[in-house]
Amino acid sequence: MNPAELSASLLAIVSAMLERRGATQTLTIDDVALERPRNRDHGDWASNIAMKLAKPLGSSPRDIAAEVTAELESVAGVASVSIAGPGFINITLDAAAAGEIARTILDQGEVYGRNEGLAGQSINLEFVSANPTGPLHIGHTRWAALGDSLARVLRASGATIATEFYINDAGNQMDNFGASILAAARGLETPENGYPGQYIADLASRVVQLEPNLLILADDEALAVARETGYRLQLGEIQASLERFNVHFDVWFSERELHAIDQATGQSAIDSAIDRLRVQGHVFDADDAVWVKTTDFGDDKDRVIRRGNGIFTYFAADAAYYLSKSDRGYTHKIYLLGADHHGYVHRLKALAGSAGDDPERDIEVLIGQLVSINGARLSKRAGNIIELNDLQAWLGTDALRYSLGRYPADSPLTLDPELLQKRTNDNPVFYVQYAHARTHQVARNAAASGVTREVFDASLLTHETESMLLGILAEFPRVVLQSAELREPHRIARYSEELAGAYHRWYDNCRVTPLGEETVTDTHRTRLWLNDATGIVLRNALGLLGVSAPERM
């Protein structure tokens, strides 16, 4: 008996009651979703359906609850039902029914937690998308951790998903980047609007090594070589950093593709994007420029897409890029952006609308708050920019991914770099990983003591800490789906901490291996199932966060 099955039983009972009372409304499984009561004395699962139906049915919540309770009590696996407070229906399962989840988990293994809640959706998830003109810093790192975990959670919920990194490799900043490298190679000062920093000097020497001619080429040619070679090297650095961080992108999309002229049509993707928006009736000409009427979709002013001098704005590439995603078959386009880009939300939504898509359904822009260091915002001037590579060296991938992944994106995050460098155990990731390692230690000890899994009798799992642990294990698939639906992968981290805590408390109270001369009983054997099931769920949860699950620490 898992919560989904119990919900289904409850739904049938409540629906029948509605029919008896002649009510016209119908309920879905979501209306009867069960929650785990905060207080253990309230049972294993609780429903607030009686209170929700009180008004439409015109009777008191407790009366409705009583009617439902009478039938719930006869459901197989339900030990007792009680009504509490304003009308909560509290359900306690018998131990055997509750314990079945351990068998289910061992049967399903690494698949346990996956669900089909988002089946049929084809999602493009874009995140990080840093300029290839410098290393990734802590801000990018947060989106990398969250975006990658979100992708895993969406995939686990049945969605087809592609993660995508948009490379801003067109435009002025690439020339500034190239000029900075060239100046460094020539031993000159950083040019105006150039990029400062040691990494430019490092890139310059690598470029010179690869292209020894650089220093004798004419300016134009040298600039191109510095820019292109530097670009290739820097992008390689970014890709390597992300791979080390366990973050994978399915598509690396170059902005240059959008500017490239198709030989057959004589048009670029941007040209045809503007044409397509124009056909939809959202493009107009004014003051020598070409505009998109984004105010039709909630923007506070219309946006220029092509300047009077014929040069496209950045917005034009955005338009072509959005259409590219649609053309490639993605029904949902999710953008994960930093708060410093939230001004783009309206115009991105307007693009979807202008293209004939539904701005509410087809495009989602998730805005993440910026990371601050000891309360100060990050800036080059303040000298407190921290690179992904440094963070990784201090903390390691697991601790870094976990500490960035356990907070919701819209929560402002303050980090203390001194604390990060200490690598202390106050990071909850160690608590969770230790719980996982402990499940394996227990399994090793069990094997050594002759405790096997040849018997599973769930009715023996009667200790208070066992029913608590079973309840949490049973919730995992729903937590995964909820994380996917709400786009909140941090829920997986919070869940794994709760599970680890319940496991540690169980471990303290219930032995898997017998003491001394005691004989092995079915209780020991059955507990080994529970132990192993917990290990599987911890590993699956950590996997969704891109964090390893060590068997020893």
Contacts (CB under 7 A) with RNA, residues 13-52: 33, 35, 37-39, 41-42, 46, 48, 51-52
The token pair at 144 is 């990398």
CB of 131 to RNA, least distance (A): 6
Which span sits near RNA by CB under 7 A: 148-156, 276-284, 303-311, 322-330? Answer: 303-311
The token pair at 541 is 């949860």
d(CA 97, CA 472): 14
Q: Between 85 and 329, whose beta carbon lies closer to RNA?
A: 85
Contact residue for RNA among 73, 288, 360, 522 (CB under 7 A): 288
Q: Between 28 and 39, whose beta carbon lies closer to RNA?
A: 39
Residue 300 sits in the site that holds RNA (CB under 7 A): yes
Return the bridge partners of 81, or none: 91
d(CA 193, CA 177): 9
CB of 216 to RNA, least distance (A): 30
Three-state SS for 383? coil
Residues 472-511 that bind RNA (CB under 7 A): 482, 488, 490-491, 494, 497, 501, 504-505, 507-508, 510-511
Residue 313 sits in the site that holds RNA (CB under 7 A): yes
Q: Between 152 and 491, whose beta carbon lies closer to RNA?
A: 491
d(CA 279, CA 506): 65
Residue 438 sits in the site that holds RNA (CB under 7 A): yes
d(CA 355, CA 282): 9
Contact residue for RNA among 110, 243, 410, 464 (CB under 7 A): 410
E strand or H helix at 470: helix 464-486
All residues at 6 or more sequence positions from 366 whose CB lies less than 8 Å from its CB, including other chains = 334, 335, 336, 337, 409, 487
Which span sits near RNA by CB under 7 A: 144-152, 206-214, 218-226, 432-440? Answer: 432-440
The token pair at 267 is 């048009």
Q: Between 214 and 529, whose beta carbon lies closer to RNA?
A: 529
Residue 94, burial from CB neighbour count under 10 angstroms (0-12, 13-18, 19+): middle
Residue 452 sits in the site that holds RNA (CB under 7 A): no
Amino acid at 506: W
Among 329, 363, 533, which Cα is nearest to 442's?
533
Residue 100 sits in the site that holds RNA (CB under 7 A): no
Note whether 135 and 523 are within 8 A (CB): no
Which span sits near RNA by CB under 7 A: 2-10, 97-105, 323-331, 434-442? Answer: 434-442
d(CA 67, CA 171): 69
Residue 344 sits in the site that holds RNA (CB under 7 A): yes
CB of 329 to RNA, least distance (A): 27
Residues 241-280 that bind RNA (CB under 7 A): none
Q: Between 135 and 356, whose beta carbon lies closer to RNA?
A: 135
CB of 117 to RNA, least distance (A): 13
Among 174, 172, 175, 166, which Cα is nearest to 320's?
166
Q: Between 214 and 545, whose beta carbon lies closer to RNA?
A: 545
CB of 410 to RNA, least distance (A): 4
Residue 311 sits in the site that holds RNA (CB under 7 A): yes
Among 293, 285, 288, 338, which Cα is nearest to 319's?
293
Find where tokens 């338009």 sit.
Answer: 319
Three-state SS for 367? strand
d(CA 500, CA 484): 22
Find where tokens 């509410």 sit.
Answer: 360
d(CA 164, CA 403): 23
Residue 355 sits in the site that holds RNA (CB under 7 A): no
Which span sits near RNA by CB under 7 A: 5-13, 163-171, 227-235, 535-543? Answer: 163-171
Binding mask 58-97 for RNA (x = CB under 7 A): ---x----------------------xxx-x-x-------
Angle between helices 428-448 and 397-405 (to 10 degrees): 120
Residue 142 sits in the site that holds RNA (CB under 7 A): no
Residue 408 sits in the site that holds RNA (CB under 7 A): yes
Q: Between 60 and 160, whose beta carbon lies closer to RNA?
A: 60
CB of 500 to RNA, least distance (A): 7
CB of 393 to RNA, least distance (A): 18
The token pair at 506 is 């169980």
Residues 524-553 that bind RNA (CB under 7 A): 552-553
Q: Between 67 and 208, whose beta carbon lies closer to RNA?
A: 67
Residue 466 sits in the site that holds RNA (CB under 7 A): no
Residue 231 sits in the site that holds RNA (CB under 7 A): no
Residue 453 sits in the site that holds RNA (CB under 7 A): no
d(CA 411, CA 90): 34
The size of the chain, in residues, is 553
